[in-house]
Structure 1
Amino acid sequence: MTSFEMDHLDDDQKQRLLLESRYKPIFDRHEHEGGVPLKSLRQEMEEVGGSKLPRGKMELLLRRADEYQDGKLEFGEFIRIMTAETGDRQLTAFQKLLKISLNGVIPRNAQKKRMEYYLDHYNCCPPPLFMIFISLAEIGVFVFYAIELKGMGVETTASSGFPWYSPLIYKPQRRYEAWRFLTYMFIHVGYLHLVFNLIMQLMLGLPLEMVHKWWRVGFVYSLGVVAGSLGHSVVDTTTMLAGASGGCYALIGAQLAAVIMNWKEMTRGCQDGVVEFISSAPVRLTLILVLGGADTGLAIYQRFTGDSKGSVGFAAHFGGFLAGLLLGISVLKNIDKKPWETVLWWISTIIYCILIIFCICWNGFYPGFPDQDWRPCCPIT
């Protein structure tokens, strides 16, 4: 390359050319092996004349390469690691957002294989709008009923005030109106209930949508809502149910499964930067426990200190969470599929179906439910 051509290259391109000219011969010697063995990487680089890396760079290279745990380093990986400090400047604003989402969803050991593919091929079509749409719908329904309740002399506060007469809320006396097993997610008891649900589903749902597409996340979320109401109908047969916690906890279940199964990989490198720290397993687990614990605590409080019109159950949290654990395996896209995961897919799917069938049969044959309310929808009394 001529000096004139070199002058028209930016700093990143010059750095890549320099790295290639100095270090590619090392990787060419090991091309048939799939990369340079990490155990001999330092020695081989020092043996090449003029190719000795600064001590800090070498330590960084070995530390980050070891995160992938494959024992070898390919030339492409070497370039990405050595230019990591400047790589983000070549990404568009949307790609940077996608990269943050990938850091929060894909285990670190799978990012090696999939990060570049997603950054190059993800086109935001369809866009991640499911969680946004559901959240706006929940806000709209909440505002509508808050205004209506105010006209009836009932104030909506932080932890009280809900339209017990709504055709959307789950009521055990009107179980024959099957849509209530899903639509109860649009009703919330006080604005704190709504805020907690919105924070959780947007924080967990949007990154999942960007990686797994909206229909997979929407499917898990919706079935988590249904599983939550069915579980509630088994555990708490006389209590109404409101809130999107079934769907939120389905997302939590899917996330928690990934955190637990990939704890080691998600903990490595958490001190490398802000994004790495935020997406690390301890931080994610802490956020899940804090937000989930606060929301569940509020639901339990409301269950046993309900207003004069009745109390609202909390068992949907656990039903949705269990559904998320099972459906996350079955429905969400598998980033790095392993042979044994096919067996796990079948096991989780069968368990979910068995539990759903049991709950449906319980609703049909259990004699302890309140008498059915056959009055026209929707009586306020």
Structure 2
Amino acid sequence: MSGRRVEDVEMRALRSDLRRNFKPIFDRHDPEGLPVRDLQREMEDEGITDRIPRERLNELLDMADRDDNQLITYDEFINLMTSEQGLTKAERSAFRSVLAIAIENIVPKSMREDFLANYSCCPVPPLFIPLITLTEVIVFAVYAVELKEAGVAVTATSGVPMYSPLVYRPTRRYEAWRFLTYMFIHQGYIHLISNMLFQLLFGVMLEVVHKWWRILILYLLGVIAGSMAHSLTDHHVSLVGASGGVYALLGAHIASVIVNWREMNYKCCEGNIGRILLSAPVRLMIILVLVVPDTGLAIYRRISEPDNFKVGVTAHIGGFGAGLLLGVPILKNISRLPWETTLGWVTMAVYLAFVGFCVIFNGLYQGYPPTDWS
């Protein structure tokens, strides 16, 4: 077999392999092609510049975009991968190693225009919120049994295992894990049930769009912000409950509305009742109706009944603030604008500055009760 025939066979095999592995991925996107800028950014994020210099990557993508419309179609991709003047063997290998993931990370145009198109349980269904909810229920049940055996009744509004190493206690602030693990302990059935219902309702909605790992980060950082805020204002008061995480989810919903306002209002004025109910203004109103009266009443009772009211108001506020601040950079922004990127960096800096201040305050402030080193 001549050299030319061998090359033809290899090229046909390459085209067949590319069609089998990449055409289904391209088909999930828009027929006009993938934005060159998005493709370049995603490929760089996947580490292709470790194998191909950025200047060469730009040259190859420009070469692929033959009609210079800043979009790369499947046919243009095939031409690039099979052209004798295109990629070297090493470059072709580098492209193949990252391209599939890079393309998957690019949000199709239809989904960038329509926020509802991003609701999907595929390829991974909501995981974090159901699992953390189940864990919190199990921990509550275990301690309820322990308290019952010790002769302490767990009622609708009472029954806290203050001996637990999970509870945040001002006297044991050096045990840093308590700033996070207090979320597993609840004071009575009502406290538990209300938190679990809220986080299932609002957390799963977020997770379906933004995926489990983003919600995990937001929830846990919200819990930490809640205990940090509580430690600033309630120097002698212990803290239990997942409200910091729950309120972080509520704050994250507002952050999502801010950065996806236009996409959430896609075709909402065409009379479709579902789109109206899920539009940005309605979402925002629902969250504010839930948060503002509850927080306002809690603050009022905290001021008017300082000796009787024991809800950690600042923990709620801290969690909500964390969700609002971190939701901008962490949650999926399906059509990111330059000002939204800048806003994300600013809000992340504000959150980090707050946590840093809280850590320093906890270390230097002398008004906390004596440390229990036992």
Aligned residue in 2 for 1:247: 245
Whether 1:371 and 2:342 are equivalent positions in the alignment is no
Aligned residue in 2 for 1:65: none
Tell me: CA distance 1:280–1:155, structure 2 relative to 1, closer, same or farther (3 Å).
farther
In the alignment, the residues of structure 2 paired with residue 319 and residue 295 of structure 1 have an alpha-carbon distance, to the nearest angstrom, of 15
In the alignment, the residues of structure 1 paired with residue 154 and residue 173 of structure 2 have an alpha-carbon distance, to the nearest angstrom, of 26
The answer to whether the 8 A contact 1:168-1:186 is kept is yes
In the alignment, the residues of structure 1 paired with residue 261 and residue 213 of structure 2 have an alpha-carbon distance, to the nearest angstrom, of 27
The answer to whether the 8 A contact 1:231-1:319 is kept is yes
Aligned residue in 1 for 2:113: 112
The answer to whether the 8 A contact 1:270-1:280 is kept is no
Aligned residue in 2 for 1:182: 180
Whether 1:166 and 2:157 are equivalent positions in the alignment is no
In the alignment, the residues of structure 1 paired with residue 113 and residue 261 of structure 2 have an alpha-carbon distance, to the nearest angstrom, of 17
Instruction: After superposition, give the CA deviation of every residue in 1:229-271 in whole Å (9 maximum; x if it has no partner).
Output: 0111011111011111111111111112344666687567378
State TM-score, norm by structure 1: 0.61
Instruction: After superposition, give the CA deviation of every residue in 1:68-127 in whole Å (9 maximum; x if it has no partner).
Output: xxxxxxxxxxxxxxxxxxxxxxxxxxxxxxxxxxxxxxxxx97635655x47xx562333
Letter paired with 1:374: W
Q: Alpha-carbon deviation of 1:181?
A: 0.5
The answer to whether the 8 A contact 1:158-1:190 is kept is yes
The answer to whether the 8 A contact 2:114-2:264 is kept is no
Q: Alpha-carbon deviation of 1:187?
A: 0.7
Aligned residue in 2 for 1:199: 197
Residues 8-47 of structure 1: matches in 2 within 5 Å? none
Q: Alpha-carbon deviation of 1:151?
A: 2.4
Letter paired with 1:152: A
Q: Number of residue pairs matched?
A: 264
Tell me: CA distance 1:325–1:344, structure 2 relative to 1, closer, same or farther (3 Å).
same
Instruction: After superposition, give the CA deviation of every residue in 1:2-22 in whole Å (9 maximum; x if it has no partner).
Output: xxxxxxxxxxxxxxxxxxxxx
In the alignment, the residues of structure 2 paired with residue 112 and residue 286 of structure 1 have an alpha-carbon distance, to the nearest angstrom, of 22
Gapped regions of structure 1 (runs ≥ 5): 1-30, 32-108, 376-381
In the alignment, the residues of structure 2 paired with residue 306 and residue 202 of structure 1 have an alpha-carbon distance, to the nearest angstrom, of 32
The partner residue of 1:140 within 138, 141, 158 is: 138
Letter paired with 2:113: K
Aligned residue in 2 for 1:362: 361
In the alignment, the residues of structure 1 paired with residue 124 and residue 371 of structure 2 have an alpha-carbon distance, to the nearest angstrom, of 43
Aligned residue in 2 for 1:129: 127
Aligned residue in 2 for 1:341: 340
Instruction: After superposition, give the CA deviation of every residue in 1:292-328 in whole Å (9 maximum; x if it has no partner).
Output: 4676589776996889xx9563311000111111100
Query: Which 4+ residue blocks in structure 1 deviate beyond 4 angstroms?
Result: 113-116, 260-268, 293-307
Aligned residue in 1 for 2:321: 322
In the alignment, the residues of structure 2 paired with residue 155 and residue 125 of structure 1 have an alpha-carbon distance, to the nearest angstrom, of 44
The answer to whether the 8 A contact 1:182-1:226 is kept is yes
Aligned residue in 2 for 1:238: 236
Tell me: CA distance 1:288–1:161, structure 2 relative to 1, closer, same or farther (3 Å).
farther
State TM-score, norm by structure 2: 0.62
The answer to whether the 8 A contact 1:241-1:314 is kept is no
Tell me: CA distance 1:281–1:330, structure 2 relative to 1, closer, same or farther (3 Å).
closer
Whether 1:151 and 2:183 are equivalent positions in the alignment is no
Tell me: CA distance 1:248–1:330, structure 2 relative to 1, closer, same or farther (3 Å).
same
The answer to whether the 8 A contact 1:159-1:302 is kept is no
Identity rate of aligned residues, in percent? 52
Letter paired with 2:253: Q
* Larger deviation, residues 360-369 vs 146-155: 146-155
In the alignment, the residues of structure 2 paired with residue 323 and residue 206 of structure 1 have an alpha-carbon distance, to the nearest angstrom, of 18
In the alignment, the residues of structure 2 paired with residue 223 and residue 183 of structure 1 have an alpha-carbon distance, to the nearest angstrom, of 12
In the alignment, the residues of structure 1 paired with residue 298 and residue 128 of structure 2 have an alpha-carbon distance, to the nearest angstrom, of 25
In the alignment, the residues of structure 2 paired with residue 141 and residue 321 of structure 1 have an alpha-carbon distance, to the nearest angstrom, of 24
- RMSD, aligned α-carbons: 3.2
